[in-house]
């Protein structure tokens, strides 16, 4: 069942978000605004902008996720984003992550060719090129306590925790909360309010 997509983040009554969380929600909300075609840029510019927006999402998801203690040693240990099957996108994500930290942890981006190579990461982006072997990829990551993210139709329904999709020229989020829980990662309520939930 799909829930309606909330477009505005509202803090719970009686509570105000911290500056860090509020700032992260703002960045996600701005990313949700997406980009529309530029008169001079056309379709190619929009596609490039979309990849940059998705890269921003990946980096900011780190601020809205909690991992088991065994997966996240004390700071300043690294937070690793692995991009499986799309080295060009890994380069885009690396630019977005440059100089960023989450709770004093630097962010490292790796391009990987196999799910086994991604198992040590905290967030694994699974490219559409892996759709034919998605069940195998997810099985390989099942015990790795990683947040899986994709941008391919049907990925959330097939067990990827977060899927990015485009609607009305905007990048949006859908979350398979069961898949996230099964992986042992906890997604913040602030993130879930901006997502369509797939059950």
Q: Based on the structure, what is the number of domains in the chain?
A: 1
Coil, helix or strand at residue 187: strand
The verdict on residue 10 lying in a domain is: no
Rg (CA), the chain: 16
pLDDT of residue 24: 52
Tell me the whole-structure pTM to 2 decimals. Answer: 0.80
93 within 8 A of 55, measured Cβ to Cβ: yes
Which two tokens mark 195?
């997502």
The verdict on residue 4 lying in a domain is: no
Structural domain boundaries enclosing 138: 19-198
Confidence of residue 34 (pLDDT cuts 50, 70, 90): very low
Taking each helix axis from N to C end, the angle separating 19-33 and 42-61, rounded to the nearest 10 degrees, works out to 160
The verdict on residue 2 lying in a domain is: no
The verdict on residue 189 lying in a domain is: yes
Tell whether the torsion through CA atoms of 33, 84, 61 and 110 is positive or negative: negative
The percentage of residues in the chain with a pLDDT greater than 90, rounded to a whole number, is 66
pLDDT of residue 47: 57
- Residues 6 or more apart whose CB falls under 8 angstroms from that of 19 comprise none
pLDDT of residue 48: 58
The verdict on residue 115 lying in a domain is: yes
The verdict on residue 191 lying in a domain is: yes
The verdict on residue 5 lying in a domain is: no
Which two tokens mark 179?
């898949």
> For residue 69, what are the CA distances in angstroms to 13, 42, 66?
30, 46, 9
76 or 174, which is more confident? 174
CATH code (residue 191):
3.40.50.2300
Q: What mean pLDDT comes out for the span 172-176?
A: 95
Around Cβ 155, how many Cβ atoms within 10 Å?
Answer: 27
The verdict on residue 180 lying in a domain is: yes
11 or 144, which is more confident? 144
Helix (H) or strand (E) holding 60: helix 42-61
Helix (H) or strand (E) holding 7: none
């Amino acid at each position: 069942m799909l829930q309606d997509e909330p477009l505005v983040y509202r803090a719970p009554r009686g509570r105000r978000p911290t500056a860090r969380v509020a700032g992260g929600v703002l960045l996600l909300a701005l990313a949700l605004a997406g980009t529309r075609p530029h008169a001079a840029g056309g379709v190619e510019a929009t596609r490039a902008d979309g990849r940059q927006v998705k890269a921003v999402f990946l980096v900011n998801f780190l601020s809205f996720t909690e991992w088991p203690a065994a997966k996240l040693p004390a700071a300043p240990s690294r937070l690793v984003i692995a991009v499986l099957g799309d080295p060009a996108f890994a380069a885009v994500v690396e630019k977005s992550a440059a100089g960023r930290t989450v709770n004093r942890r630097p962010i490292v981006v790796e391009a990987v060719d196999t799910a086994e190579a991604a198992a040590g990461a905290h967030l694994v982006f699974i490219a559409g090129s892996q759709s034919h072997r998605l069940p195998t990829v997810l099985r390989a990551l099942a015990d790795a306590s990683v947040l899986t993210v994709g941008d391919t139709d049907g990925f959330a329904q097939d067990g990827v925790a977060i899927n990015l999709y485009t609607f009305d020229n905007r990048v949006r989020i859908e979350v398979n909360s069961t898949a996230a829980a099964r992986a042992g990662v906890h997604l913040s309520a602030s993130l879930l309010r901006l997502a369509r939930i797939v059950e």
